[in-house]
A and B are shown apart, each in its own frame.
Chain A
Amino acid sequence: MTGMSIRSKLRRSWPGYVFLTPWLIGFFLLSIFPILASLYLAFTDYDAVNAPVWVGFENFQYMFEFDYRFWQSLKVTFLFVILSVPAKLIFALIVAMLLDKGIRAVGWYRALFYLPSILGGSIAVAILWRQLFNADGVINSALAVFGIQGPYWLSDPNYSLYTLVVLAIWQFGSPMLIFLAGLRAIPQDLYEAAEIDAATPSRKFFAITVPMLAPVIFFNLVLQMIEAFKSFSGAFIISGGTGAPLDSLLFFTVYLFNEAFSYFRMGYASALGWVLLVIIAAFTAIAFWTSKYWVHYENERG
């Protein structure tokens, strides 16, 4: 095999490449090209109608020096990531552990719990959420039963972000399924040995489940963090597309969208997009770097 020339390799494998062609075309046309185009546009003044004008670093300079709404959108987005990601993972793990206990019709529950994740990104759910959290919506009606006067969830900037955090937690389905698979992979003899040593449930959880699950937790953490940074449709719908009230729902992506599509600043929006990319890359790198201190793989030697 190793002695084969590139030509004869190609002769043997060309059908593979032929079948790959649609994907390759899609990849270059719909992914690589737009990415490169947006990198170029980030350094231009582009209004979508007229040809882009090169402005160098002006977009970035304006962003960092003058644009307080840029900083506000960063603040909102970070707050959302910090609040929603751990809460969602903890909730997903709890549900996964309950389902792991071999309840009857577990397949149904898995499907049922996964459903919100499928619906999650949809506009319909965001609109539903808006209805639930309205001043006279279902949530406040339920609170009223207990004599509690619920807050104006959506029009009070002190509360609006929490409704979106709850929406994010509700979409725990996909990390839950991954946790479930991870839990199934933990050798049962570890628990049996702990049983003989009379370990408490919490001891079993922290000494066996968490360490054995660490690679899965890490995987879910990185995935959900990226997801949270990019989160858009919920905030867009609930705030009427503007980040209202008082920019409390001005997610980075919502701000980017407004700059691009409401105010004809495609160049500036591209620059914002690249800043988001760098932020996500940096946080992913940090996660990977810290992971060597707490994530261990079974097949690792050392």
Chain B
Amino acid sequence: MSTFNRRKFLGTAAAAAGSAAILSATGTSAFAQDRRIRHFWWGNPERDKRTFEVIRLFNEKNPGIVVAGETLGSADYFTRLTTQIAGRNMADAIQMGYGVMFEYINRGAILPLDEYIGKSLDISQIDESALSAGRVDGKLYALSIGANSHVSLYNTRLFDAAGISFDPFGWTYDDLKRVAGEVTKATGVFGTDDNTADYQNFSDYVHQRGERLFDDEGNFGASAETIADYFAIWADLRAAGATPPGQVSAGLVGAELSNWGIVTGQTAISYAWSNQMVGVQNLMQDKVGAAMFPNTPEMIPGSIIQPSQFICLSRDTVDAEAATTYMSAFVNDPEMTAVLGLERGIPANAQVRAALQPKLTEIEATSVAFFDGIQGKTMNLAPPPPSGAQEIEAMFERVAVAVLLDQAPIPDVANQIRREAEGIRRRAR
């Protein structure tokens, strides 16, 4: 590896061929002594701006290592990653999410970090809970770059205008119906987005009903009754005129942040991951408030706190030591983490959290307050999702649209979801 890696090969090839085309393709510094690594993440304009600034800082502080950043929207990220896996040219450091990461670990696309700990990689200040979320079979595969949870974002101006009072950490679906109805009546803006086809909300609901999304054998655990009840909650809100028409909501399944109801002003509540709060607020004039997802009257915790994203070492890394040096700085370096702020979630490094505290923007303070509020009200992190979990999520969002469009009775759709989930699990083996 060290005697003839890809970078050296390209350098030699460029020198030998001396051709302008190859030179421009590899960059002129193929001749220099710099160790070059790539960092690939999914993002949005705000996150990209911060991450490129972090890369600039790192390059400045670490002569000899040059990091290049690559970014895509989340919709295209994983397809690009798969292409790169097949082509064996993944970036050295890649961003991963909790839901999908285990699929990549199981298949061997990600390398364990253990041999770099204490050398190029410093994990001494990282919370144990965050570390354990990135471990599989005792090996550390992933560094958490921020804690995350489900959040209901609401437009505080509209809520004030309608004179709404509710408990953001203990409200039920009945409360949601009341609140959404009052907002709609008082302001003419639809009370809430329609989450019929939202898998995150659905997954919370399944746990709130005392069921599990996947049992210990990895079988799909939501009963047809629970699925149907979930759809019924939203059908009820829809019928009451508290959500946009089903056909509008059908067009918004999986939409980018900028198309969400709360951002476009079409609705007063949208549902998100807490680390998306900064992004949403930056697209809005009105102030954003944060509440938990609603619950059933039994108040069984269904939300989770999990790493929003990880930074991982890819199988195709050309320089694991340089890559882990960069990854280490990404989660520990005070200057770099100050730039990142809370945009990817609450940092897992206690010192970093403390350093950020006095410099928080208003929306960041809201997000910290939200995290304080949900302590003790969330459930324990479920075991890593089984193979096929991603496909089941996509299937749910696809099939549930039939309910939004009124194309099939709710019990039929619920049964279909169970049947297809079982099929996907069988095929994933």
A residues neighboring B (CB under 8 Å):
47-50, 134-135, 152, 154-157, 240-247, 257, 260-264, 266
Q: Counting CB contacts under 8 A, is B35 at the interface?
A: no
Please determine whether B86 and A266 come into contact, CB atoms closer than 8 angstroms: yes
Checking A50, A245, A257, A262 against B78 with a beta-carbon cut-off of 8 angstroms, the contacting residue is A262
Q: Which of B6-14, B62-70, B111-119, B245-253 is found at the contact surface with chain A?
A: B245-253
Q: Which residues of chain A have C-beta atoms less than 8 A from B104's C-beta? A: 49
Q: Which residues of chain A have C-beta atoms less than 8 A from B248's C-beta? A: 135, 152, 155
Range, interface on chain B: 20 to 34
Q: Please, how many angstroms separate the alpha-carbon atoms of A91 and B400 in the complex? A: 38
Q: Please, how many angstroms separate the alpha-carbon atoms of A136 and B410 in the complex? A: 28
Q: Which 10 A-B pairs have the closest CB atoms?
A: A155-B251, A261-B79, A49-B107, A48-B86, A155-B250, A152-B247, A261-B82, A49-B109, A48-B85, A245-B401
Please determine whether A50 and B75 come into contact, CB atoms closer than 8 angstroms: no
Please determine whether B82 and A264 come into contact, CB atoms closer than 8 angstroms: yes
Given contacts A152-B247, A155-B247, contact A262 B394 (CB under 8 A): yes
Q: Which residues of chain B have C-beta atoms less than 8 A from A134's C-beta? A: 251
Q: Please, how many angstroms separate the alpha-carbon atoms of A25 and B245 in the complex? A: 56
Q: Which residues of chain B have C-beta atoms less than 8 A from A49's C-beta? A: 85, 104, 107-109, 315
Q: Tell me the dominant secondary structure on chain A's binding face.
A: loop
Please determine whether A263 and B390 come into contact, CB atoms closer than 8 angstroms: yes
Q: Which residues of chain A have C-beta atoms less than 8 A from B254's C-beta? A: 240, 242, 244
Q: Counting CB contacts under 8 A, is B402 at the interface?
A: yes
B residues neighboring A (CB under 8 Å):
75-76, 78-79, 82-83, 85-86, 103-104, 107-109, 247-248, 250-255, 315, 390-391, 394, 397-398, 401-402, 405, 407
Q: Please, how many angstroms separate the alpha-carbon atoms of A265 and B103 in the complex? A: 13
Please determine whether A244 and B398 come into contact, CB atoms closer than 8 angstroms: yes
Q: Tell me the dominant secondary structure on chain B's binding face.
A: helix
Please determine whether A246 and B107 come into contact, CB atoms closer than 8 angstroms: no
Q: Which residues of chain A have C-beta atoms less than 8 A from B82's C-beta? A: 48, 260-262, 264
Q: Which residues of chain A have C-beta atoms less than 8 A from B247's C-beta? A: 135, 152, 155-156
- Residue pairs across A and B with Cβ atoms less than 8 A apart, 30 shown, are A47-B107, A49-B104, A49-B107, A49-B109, A50-B107, A134-B251, A152-B247, A152-B248, A155-B405, A156-B250, A156-B405, A157-B407, A240-B254, A241-B75, A242-B394, A242-B398, A243-B398, A244-B253, A244-B254, A244-B398, A244-B401, A245-B253, A245-B405, A246-B407, A247-B398, A261-B82, A262-B82, A263-B390, A264-B82, A264-B107
Given contacts A49-B108, A50-B107, A244-B401, contact A262 B253 (CB under 8 A): no
Q: What's the nearest-Cβ distance from chain A to residue B82, in Å? A: 4
Please determine whether B86 and A246 come into contact, CB atoms closer than 8 angstroms: no
Q: Which residues of chain A have C-beta atoms less than 8 A from B398's C-beta? A: 242-244, 246-247
Given contacts A247-B398, A266-B86, contact A257 B251 (CB under 8 A): no
Q: Which residues of chain A have C-beta atoms less than 8 A from B315's C-beta? A: 49
Checking B78, B79, B109, B251 against A154 with a beta-carbon cut-off of 8 angstroms, the contacting residue is B251
Q: Which residues of chain A have C-beta atoms less than 8 A from B394's C-beta? A: 242, 262
Q: Please, how many angstroms separate the alpha-carbon atoms of A134 and B252 in the complex? A: 11
8 new A-B contacts at CB < 8 Å, known A49-B108, A50-B108, A243-B398: A48-B85, A49-B107, A155-B251, A157-B407, A240-B255, A242-B394, A244-B254, A244-B398
Q: Which residues of chain B have C-beta atoms less than 8 A from A260's C-beta? A: 82
